[in-house]
A = this chain, B = another copy of it.
Amino acid sequence: MTGTSLDGVDVAIAEFTSNENNKHSLKLIAFNTYHLPGSVKELALKIIGNKGNLQDITLFHFLLPQVYAEAIQKLCSESGFPIDNIDAIGMHGQTVWHEPHPKSFDKFDVSGTFQLGSPSALANILNIQVVGDFRAADIALGGQGAPLVPIFDYEFLRNDNANIIALNIGGIANITYIKKSCAPSNVVAFDTGPGNSLIDAACRSYLKIEYDKDGENAQKGKLIPELFEKLMNHLYIKQSPPKSTGKELFNWDYVCQAMNEINYSDNYHLDIFNTLTQFTASSIALNIRKFASDHSKIIISGGGANNKYLLKLLNEQVPDSKIIKSDEIGIPADAKEAIAFAYLAYRTLGGLHGNLPSVTGAKREAVLGVLGIP
């Protein structure tokens, strides 16, 4: 898959098996992220920025499978895993638009989601079956088409003796909450608010760097209480789930507007880093306390799992929870999403549903995706 940030192509090779009780197990064989060639990233940015025409979109739909195919071949060759041993590829593709709220056309109410990358093309390039277009079925059934990782969390992280929170800190932060002895229909999952998006935006804006390594800059600053309160007052933070958000809401404009509103003009960068990191930690903690449980085992993945200061702040706010990185249980923090979509492909090929209607709002469970035939 390629995420919205276009950092690169994430490829995981994973083996799934099922025992006699239909309990699945997972073995990660290899994972890597591959650089997107310049002209590919350029075309993707043009399309995501809504500046692409039909020709751009059409070509990107067939360019991406070529890029994916090469990445898969590289990972096989680097890891010594024979490509002929791959049973199937789960391809998320590149999301270019997500519109979960229905619009009306005559008598039809329509919502939609749009992932580029032709599954049929990839299947024919590599001669391997491809499961793709995972979000469409859930959308067609009135769901949000997201999040889809919770069924992976439920299968591999649930615990009969502890509340589990799978916390993923990407650009946006989201949690899957699996209460002790929870049934699938009681899984709760939603976006808590900003993940790395605001801290990264400050890095780009003030320091021309991509991210605040280990939270080093934030640690050197101190809290600006008025700004912190202003940010925490965003209605989204306290809103009850189901809820989802994106960088349309939590971006640099939002921070600048908040600074304006409190007439903050010192522009002392390190304090801003500190405040944004505290806001990120506090918005996650507040959602955990309010809509999950702060007596939980919190398993963190995503790029934000590497921000030590952020984790320290979070830890202070939910002292009764135990925080670990997903790496500790064999799932590298960066690889989790790719592994989860490989697992969704495994479920689809086994005729098993991949969405959790309690999470997405769909009318019913659905076997997700289309099968690209080699």
Contact = CB atoms under 8 A, between A and B. Distances in A.
Interface of A: 37-40, 43, 47, 50, 52-55, 57-59, 61-63, 65-67, 96-99, 103, 105-108, 110-114, 118-125, 132-133, 136-137, 139-141, 348, 366-374
Contacts of A123: 137
A39 to B, nearest CB: 4
A141 B66 CA distance: 11
A174 B119 CA distance: 29
B137 A120 contact: yes
**Residue from A96, A103, A133 with most neighbouring chain B CB atoms (10 Å):** A133
B59 A57 contact: no
Nearest to A113: B58
A124 B98 CA distance: 19
Contacts of A369: 120, 373
A59 B52 CA distance: 17
B106 A140 contact: no
A120 B134 CA distance: 9
B140 A58 contact: no
Nearest to A109: B66
A91 B207 CA distance: 52
B118 A57 contact: no
A140 B113 contact: no
Contacts of A106: 37-40
Given A58-B99, A373-B370, A67 B108 contact: yes
Contacts of A368: 120, 373
A66 B112 CA distance: 12
B108 A121 contact: no
A119 B124 CA distance: 18
Contacts of A52: 54
Given A57-B57, A105-B37, A348 B370 contact: no
Contacts of A137: 120-121, 123-124, 373
Contact of A43 (B99, B105, B366): B105
